[in-house]
Structure 1
């Protein structure tokens, strides 16, 4: 099956739209193939503002109905506890609410941007999507991340080269209870690093300090800007550490 066939068979759908590479191309394809698609951005403490900005920008460019669905994942104590099943509890909570919202808008089919490169191993959130019958057309049609980037380039989507970005909850070590204050500090710290020219990095919390994970080609920039980095992150963290294992 290809996406054209998928949307011919499913002419009306709701999309959990993150503003990332995969869901952006899926939104574009749905529109191209005549699907009556409605995009929903799930806004919680786990999503940074720039993802919402990108999602809104593309939805406006494609003239697709766009809704910001504000849900508080931190109301679920199982999510806050942040054990190894945190992603499962979080996706179950958020997608259950999203399905109800989409149904009120007349959409019974709910999609997400999981692709054929995404592994189910070690990702309990994937199980939640299966249990909730969330369809993943990119995966069902065998489209890998590389395929989606190439198709996005051909379509002229500004998201084609956008780095992958995991939710802010992944910055907190498993077993450490998550607070909104932690997430805000990480988001603010990462915004400062983006402004300095760093890309495709992560700030991980480590006993109150910021442990920075960078691609190897940005190590030299981190050393050159070490004083600026310390000053930029000092308001949010007790210290700044550089992880010498390159981020790939």
Structure 2
């Protein structure tokens, strides 16, 4: 691979490359988002694409366009994708949708990787894209699942935070370098309201319709018959303007919601989980 300069992130990137170089073959738990894609690209840089496998968990919580995009980005990097079907939706603890939902999801993914991918692809290690900012957040129970399954987190260990990961992605010219964060569809359902394939399909259809209208970064929070839209600040006014308001209402109602509302606070990461974590900590 051609030499490139990572500027202020050079030493941290070298830390990641050295971590991968300790292994013969590595799997990366991969979603196609900027964190896991950057990790995948660095693994390929350290070992060569033929010694790396991207492992994509597929379930109703993964939107169809995210699945397609993930394959496109992996193809750009030159690493093969192995899809594993995950069944977290069959787990009553996941369905209950407590603040630990992500633990059950990641536990299912890492279990499937252990059971079906590691031996088949002769993997010495599995890594996932937790970054240094994620490692400090209290609303990331999936991190506990990674620890239990001895999954590596090279980005976080190297001190690469979200901003640094995006800088590295731009240097590597990854197609997803500017891609908005895309948490799984289950994150749109309030905690302690059951997660179901039907609700996930509603959210996916509504968000897909909004993106087709030009709202590239959006969340559709599922409140029964009510869809609460979280949009970028500049998009809030656009969504409620007379020229587009009817189209917004049509695509969201067409997904099965009866009422459509726009949250004036905009997009809120951890909107459902953080308040519960803060309350538990007292």
TM bucket (normalised to shorter chain) is over 0.9
TM-score in terms of structure 1 length: 0.95
Shift of 1:122: 2.4
Contact kept in structure 2, 1:204 and 1:211, CA below 8 Å = yes
Contact kept in structure 2, 1:116 and 1:142, CA below 8 Å = yes
TM-score in terms of structure 2 length: 0.84
- Alpha-carbon separation, structure 2, partners of 1:182 and 1:33: 41
What corresponds to 1:242 in structure 2? Answer: 262
Q: Does 1:226 align with 2:245?
A: yes
- Alpha-carbon separation, structure 2, partners of 1:24 and 1:121: 24
How many residue pairs end up in the alignment? 248
Gapped regions of structure 2 (runs ≥ 5): 1-13, 269-282
Shift of 1:94: 2.1
What corresponds to 2:127 in structure 1? Answer: 111
Structure 2 residue corresponding to 1:134, chosen from 134, 147, 151:
151
- Alpha-carbon separation, structure 1, partners of 2:224 and 2:73: 38
What corresponds to 2:35 in structure 1? Answer: 22
Q: Which 4+ stretches in 1 moved above 6 angstroms?
A: none
Contact kept in structure 2, 1:210 and 1:237, CA below 8 Å = yes
What corresponds to 2:225 in structure 1? Answer: 208
Shift of 1:229: 0.8
Gapped regions of structure 1 (runs ≥ 5): none
- Alpha-carbon separation, structure 2, partners of 1:50 and 1:188: 11
Alignment of 1:179-218 (within 5 A): 179-218=196-235
- Alpha-carbon separation, structure 2, partners of 1:51 and 1:177: 23
Shift of 1:200: 1.7
- CA deviation map 1:37-81 (0-9, x unaligned): 111110011111122111111222222121111122211111111
- Alpha-carbon separation, structure 1, partners of 2:245 and 2:129: 37
What corresponds to 1:121 in structure 2? Answer: 138
Contact kept in structure 2, 1:45 and 1:73, CA below 8 Å = no
Q: Does 1:92 align with 2:107?
A: yes
Contact kept in structure 1, 2:210 and 2:248, CA below 8 Å = yes
Q: Note closer, same or farther for the CA distance 1:33–1:166 as it changes in structure 2 (3 Å cut).
A: same
Q: Does 1:80 align with 2:95?
A: yes
What corresponds to 1:40 in structure 2? Answer: 55
Bigger shift: 59-68 or 154-163? 59-68
Contact kept in structure 2, 1:102 and 1:108, CA below 8 Å = no
Q: Does 1:161 align with 2:168?
A: no
Contact kept in structure 1, 2:103 and 2:143, CA below 8 Å = yes
Q: 2:133 is paired with a residue of what secondary structure?
A: coil
- Alpha-carbon separation, structure 2, partners of 1:126 and 1:54: 24
Bigger shift: 178-187 or 126-135? 126-135
- Alpha-carbon separation, structure 2, partners of 1:64 and 1:215: 33
Shift of 1:247: 2.0
